[in-house]
Structure 1
């Protein structure tokens, strides 16, 4: 695909509503497939790692998938910045499929290095699922960004909640094929990722990000031409006919993030060659709204992972081995439902009440979750309530933070900034997963939840910071 993005004369006349509807349907479908792939593997990942590498490093092996998703965000978003969403999503799912195959091989050969490499690459499935939510807002109308992003997040619910219950079936089926115990779910994960990548490769056309850039370029050319002429005629990009103006505005209205250099080049004509984490940091540093969006996503994820990761251990303190797996499945299914099932409502509130308000509401739910779970003792129903609140709080910070971030930067640098956000989020989650084990061992679960609550203080301070009048990207 050529890297030079031209501005066809028909770009300004393009009706993006059908393209957006098609994109949303496609993303919804692939999110279900990808959600099954990610969750069915993760549900047995720790158990398989314990058998291959030993219990002591099982948690580290599990965290490798989180780190892999974070690191893969860098090359994936670099590809998106140059060539669009489709090749980036396809690559991420393909890498996840390779990781699933390597994990199966590691189980068969009991190779610890191969297991770690496989888990690292398996994070590609998570990276693709995360980037899909941003794809949903490339052509979304400003008043519907939160809802459309949240619908893609919500689609993950179907796969994520159902997949753990199919892990045992997948294991039984593949054991009959000669695969080692607990390797079967990863084989199914690899197949799901391949299916998602093939569907996106064949059907995600036209590419929503490239279309948004062409519309933005057409709007720029049209506004610069005498009497509104240019890019295909007298100002249709600004006229609002057939839904064209709002879509062009989506791509063109966002600020460049401040500063000189590639970020200030005309949006839509040619993505900056320096697109990457360095550019993303320079853009975010000059854009308060983008900083808040990244902080909301990262800190919300950190708190969620820290508490969730040690909940099975907490349950194991008070229940026999025969009951622990059943209870863990129920509690974590409720938690995942809290994360995803209500995301359309969260998206509606994000558009209705504003991004900052929902971020603060998410923080409030995270604090309530820490209080309920931390004081639940060994009362499993109360602990379950705490985990549901934890999922709801994560949903608030994720949906509102991602929406605010996406609309706070220009289309030319948006993929790089979004990848930077996912990198920070992934590293925050991985760090929380590792440190939570040490805190749990040294001080116990209540202290862990207290520290997780304290971690939200910087986010609250950032969200309550006065907004300069007319600051770009700050209006809710």
Structure 2
């Protein structure tokens, strides 16, 4: 009788144990499924954002009462990102990641439809408002990369962040292509169809995010949380935020003005889309190996490489105003941003405890995108008043300051390692 009970218990345990008999079909872990959902949602969100980045400045010049306001729609998008970052974090702290991400996708749908309405009615204010909502969508979606760290664990933070950010490679092709495909979908209304297609991207992202399964917030906020003032006094946190903010601000300011500069230098409108497209490839394609570089050389060293590449972009675009100058310079701008931004984000994850993560992430997002919003707002004015060359020269002091800060924190890490 006893042996029968033991045999039955073993049989039940065997039935409950996952099968590993077929090595060619490994069982997908929840963390991997979550990472795939987050990477796919990132690709869809960024496709919508890249579509707007490609079109918004040119359409803004058509709709705006003053050419100096041509980049206001792009600036409104970045302001929307900064504006939403704090509320998004607080909402996710109360309700969890998934409800926050779903709200963000709904904002993306509403923003796209509002942009389409603004174009249909030739109403600049409505068009700007739609871009603000699209930016708010990005403000919620920017937490995808932090959710990826929570799904994969701190030890794989760099690779998890890189995997999610790499979803932007799809955006490099899908976003501009949707702009071209939808250009004449609505008869007599240029690019209205493009924004309707953009709403479809956000709808697909909403459906995907319904499948997301992350640990409850209460299970992750473990341990003691320090006062925010004490956390912010850490040099490593300051360098992480400052470096990511400078990298993002420089990238977005130059990218915003690029379509205007291409047209202003007498190049055809057809040159805008490939330049932006390959710039976005430069932004996200390195993500396939940025995590490995960070694991080998450390986040500060990768950030330094990013700022050097961004300075190289300035040298390239100042050397001429032909198509190849714009193309090669913007690719370098994208790669430099990737190293600076992912390196800064990874460095940020090393500065807080689990119980502090949401408030530190919120401060980081607000600082990075607030600074980026100022840069975007100044892009149209700088280009209109002083031209393309001055706009690029203006970023050199910021890049040098960020480079020196990354070098300083790397030396601090090295001294600490030697001391231990």
TM-score (ref. length: structure 2): 0.85
Following superposition, the deviation at residue 366 of structure 1 comes to 0.9
What is the aligned counterpart of 1:416 among 352, 359, 380?
359
Q: Do structure 1's residue 315 and structure 2's residue 262 form an aligned pair?
A: yes
Following superposition, the deviation at residue 119 of structure 1 comes to 1.7
1:426-463 residue CA offsets vs partner (Å, 9 max, x unmatched): 22222212323333344432332222121123222322
Identify if the C-alpha distance between structure 1 residues 62 and 469 changes in structure 2 by more than 3 Å, giving closer, same or farther. Answer: closer
Corresponding position of 1:138: 150
TM-score (ref. length: structure 1): 0.75
Matches within 5 A, 1:69-80: 69-80=81-92
Answer whether contact 1:285 1:291 (CA < 8 A) is retained. Answer: yes
What is the aligned counterpart of 1:196 among 205, 212, 220?
205
1:87-144 residue CA offsets vs partner (Å, 9 max, x unmatched): 1211112112212222222233333433332221111332244221111111324442
Identify if the C-alpha distance between structure 1 residues 383 and 134 changes in structure 2 by more than 3 Å, giving closer, same or farther. Answer: same
Q: Do structure 1's residue 36 and structure 2's residue 47 form an aligned pair?
A: yes
1:193-239 residue CA offsets vs partner (Å, 9 max, x unmatched): 12212321x2112x2463xx52674xx6xxxxxxxxxxxxxxxxxxx
What is the aligned counterpart of 1:187 among 186, 196, 200?
196
Deviates more, 1:461-470 or 1:309-318: 461-470
Q: Distance in 2 between matches of 1:167 and 1:45?
A: 11
Q: Distance in 2 between matches of 1:82 and 1:394?
A: 32
Q: Distance in 2 between matches of 1:95 and 1:101?
A: 10
Q: Do structure 1's residue 113 and structure 2's residue 118 form an aligned pair?
A: no
Answer whether contact 1:339 1:391 (CA < 8 A) is retained. Answer: yes
Deviates more, 1:413-422 or 1:462-471: 462-471
Identify if the C-alpha distance between structure 1 residues 94 and 195 changes in structure 2 by more than 3 Å, giving closer, same or farther. Answer: same
Corresponding position of 1:293: 240
Identify if the C-alpha distance between structure 1 residues 404 and 413 changes in structure 2 by more than 3 Å, giving closer, same or farther. Answer: same
Identify if the C-alpha distance between structure 1 residues 470 and 381 changes in structure 2 by more than 3 Å, giving closer, same or farther. Answer: closer
Q: Distance in 2 between matches of 1:331 and 1:138?
A: 35
Q: Do structure 1's residue 458 and structure 2's residue 401 form an aligned pair?
A: yes
Q: Do structure 1's residue 367 and structure 2's residue 375 form an aligned pair?
A: no
Q: Distance in 2 between matches of 1:192 and 1:120?
A: 17
1:54-105 residue CA offsets vs partner (Å, 9 max, x unmatched): 4522311221011101111111111122232111211112112212222222
Following superposition, the deviation at residue 149 of structure 1 comes to 0.5
What residue ranges of structure 1 are gaps of 5+ in the alignment?
1-16, 221-255, 257-262, 265-278
Corresponding position of 1:337: 281
Matches within 5 A, 1:229-308: 263-264=225-226, 282=229, 284-308=231-255
Corresponding position of 1:353: 297
What is the aligned counterpart of 1:383 among 315, 319, 326?
326
Q: Do structure 1's residue 403 and structure 2's residue 346 form an aligned pair?
A: yes
Following superposition, the deviation at residue 308 of structure 1 comes to 2.3
1:360-396 residue CA offsets vs partner (Å, 9 max, x unmatched): 111111111111112x222321332221111111000
What is the aligned counterpart of 2:162 among 120, 129, 150?
150
1:302-332 residue CA offsets vs partner (Å, 9 max, x unmatched): 1112222222333224325xx2x21111211
The secondary structure found in structure 2 opposite 1:292 is: helix
Corresponding position of 1:250: none
Identify if the C-alpha distance between structure 1 residues 78 and 447 changes in structure 2 by more than 3 Å, giving closer, same or farther. Answer: same
Q: Distance in 2 between matches of 1:302 and 1:29?
A: 25
Corresponding position of 1:272: none
Answer whether contact 2:85 2:362 (CA < 8 A) is retained. Answer: yes
Note the aligned Cα RMSD (angstroms).
2.7
Identify if the C-alpha distance between structure 1 residues 351 and 143 changes in structure 2 by more than 3 Å, giving closer, same or farther. Answer: farther
Corresponding position of 2:114: 102
Following superposition, the deviation at residue 340 of structure 1 comes to 0.5
Identify if the C-alpha distance between structure 1 residues 208 and 317 changes in structure 2 by more than 3 Å, giving closer, same or farther. Answer: same
